[in-house]
């Protein structure tokens, strides 16, 4: 799995269109002039439009469960556009829409 490394300015949404932002991007590693994101950073989701009748939504937080295997940020795997995530409480993934394209990780 390879792909561009996600950073604070990347456009990432939940599966229902809510905007996702990393809580603690790296202050030491920059890509495209913005802080890069490691797998250890949780994400917050705002504006999720999923309101099921059963009551397990909308998306509120997310975590990446699979990330880079060869690139580390502050000792943790870097989050790539191709990384796998899961939102809570819905169990759906985050969708990276746009990120910098100059730095690619594996």
Domains and CATH numbers, the chain: 3-98 (2.60.200)
pLDDT tens, residue by residue, 19-29: 999 999 999 99
Q: Which of 105, 106, 100 is nearest to 31 (CA)?
A: 100
pLDDT tens, residue by residue, 77-89: 999 999 999 999 9
Residue 103 dihedral angles phi and psi, to the nearest 5°: -110, 115
pLDDT of residue 55 exceeding 80: no
Q: Which of 100, 87, 66 is nearest to 13 (CA)?
A: 87
Mention every residue, 6+ apart, whose C-beta is less than 8 A from residue 8: 21, 22, 25, 34, 35, 37
């Amino acid at each position: 799995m390879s792909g561009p490394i996600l950073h604070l300015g990347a456009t990432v949404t939940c599966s229902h269109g809510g905007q996702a932002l990393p809580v603690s991007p790296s202050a030491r590693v920059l890509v495209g002039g913005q802080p890069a994101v490691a797998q250890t950073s949780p994400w917050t989701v705002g504006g999720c439009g999923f309101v099921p009748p059963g009551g397990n939504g909308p998306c509120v937080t997310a975590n990446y469960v699979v990330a880079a295997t060869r690139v580390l940020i502050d000792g943790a795997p870097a989050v790539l556009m191709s990384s796998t995530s899961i939102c809570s409480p819905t169990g759906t993934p985050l969708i990276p829409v746009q990120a910098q394209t100059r730095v690619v990780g594996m």
